[in-house]
Amino acid sequence: MLAAVRSAAVLGIDAYDVTVEVDAALGLPQWTIVGLAAGAVKESRERVHSAIVNAGFTLPPRRVTVNLAPADTPKSGSAFDLPIALALLMATGQLARSAADGLTVVGELGLDGSIRPIRGALPLARHAARTPGETLVLPPANITEASLVTTVRLAALPELGPLVRALRDQLLPAAETPRPPNRARVADSVDFADVAGQAGAKRALEVAAAGGHNVLLIGPPGAGKTMLARRLPTILPVLSETETLDVIAVHSVAGVLASDDPLPPPRPFRSPHHTVSAAGLLGGGSAPRPGEVSLAHHGVLFLDELLEFPRSLLDALRQPLEDGRVVIARARRSVTFPARFTLIAATNPCPCGQAGDPRGACRCTPAVVARYQSRLSGPLADRIDVHVAVGAVPLRSLDPAAPGDSSATMRGRVDAARGIQHKRYDAMRSGHGITCNAHAPGRWLQAETPVAPRARELLVAAAERLALSARGYHRVLKVARTIADLEGDDMVGVPAVAEALRYRPAECGAVTLAGRRGADGAGAI
Ligand X SMILES: Nc1ncnc2c1ncn2[C@@H]1O[C@H](COP(=O)(O)OP(=O)(O)OP(=O)(O)O)[C@@H](O)[C@H]1O
Helix axes 453-465, 470-487, angle to 10 degrees: 140
Beta-sheet pairing, 342-347 with 135-137: unpaired
Tell whether omega for the bond before 158 is within 30 degrees of 0, i.e. cis. Answer: no
Region of 381 on the Ramachandran plot (φ > 0 left; ψ -120 to 50 alpha; else beta) = alpha
Return the residue of 348, 354, 421, 482 that touches ligand X, per CB under 6 A.
Answer: 348
Which DSSP state fits 59? Answer: -
What x/- string results for residues 274 through 313 when contact with ligand X is judged by CB under 6 A?
----------------------------------------
Return the residue of 6, 225, 340, 383 that touches ligand X, per CB under 6 A.
Answer: 225
The residue range among 226-234, 291-299, 307-315, 443-451 that interacts with Mg ion, by the rule CB under 5 A, is 226-234
Return the residue of 19, 177, 226, 469 that touches Mg ion, per CB under 5 A.
Answer: 226
CA 135/CA 171 separation, integer angstroms = 13
CA 439/CA 325 separation, integer angstroms = 13
Return the residue of 218, 223, 250, 492 that touches ligand X, per CB under 6 A.
Answer: 223
Return the residue of 123, 139, 224, 299 that touches ligand X, per CB under 6 A.
Answer: 224
Q: What residues does 328 pair with on adjacent strands?
A: 335
The residue range among 28-36, 127-135, 208-216, 217-225 that interacts with Mg ion, by the rule CB under 5 A, is 217-225
CA 478/CA 386 separation, integer angstroms = 11
What is the DSSP code string of 374-392?
A: TTS-HHHHHT--EEEEEPP
Q: Which amino acid, one-letter code, is at 266?
A: P
Q: CB-based contacts of 114: which residues, under 8 Å, 6+ apart?
A: 51, 158, 159, 160
Q: Could you tell which of ligand X, Mg ion, none binds residue 227, using a CB distance below 5 to 8 A set by kind?
A: ligand X
Q: What residues does 16 pair with on adjacent strands?
A: 9
CA 458/CA 277 separation, integer angstroms = 43
Closer to ligand X by CB, 248 or 386: give it.
386
Task: Kindly state whether residue 271 participates in binding Mg ion, applying the rule CB under 5 A.
Answer: no
Counting residues that bind ligand X (by CB under 6 A) gives 17
What x/- string results for residues 178 through 197 when contact with ligand X is judged by CB under 6 A?
-----------------xxx
Q: What residues does 103 pair with on adjacent strands?
A: 135
Give min distance, CB of 22 to ligand X, in A.
58
Q: Could you tell which of ligand X, Mg ion, none binds residue 255, using a CB distance below 5 to 8 A set by kind?
A: none
Task: Kindly state whether residue 493 participates in binding ligand X, applying the rule CB under 6 A.
Answer: no
Give min distance, CB of 324 to Mg ion, in A.
27
Which residues are near Mg ion by CB under 5 A?
A: 225-226
Which residues are near ligand X by CB under 6 A?
A: 195-198, 219, 221-227, 346, 348, 353, 393, 398
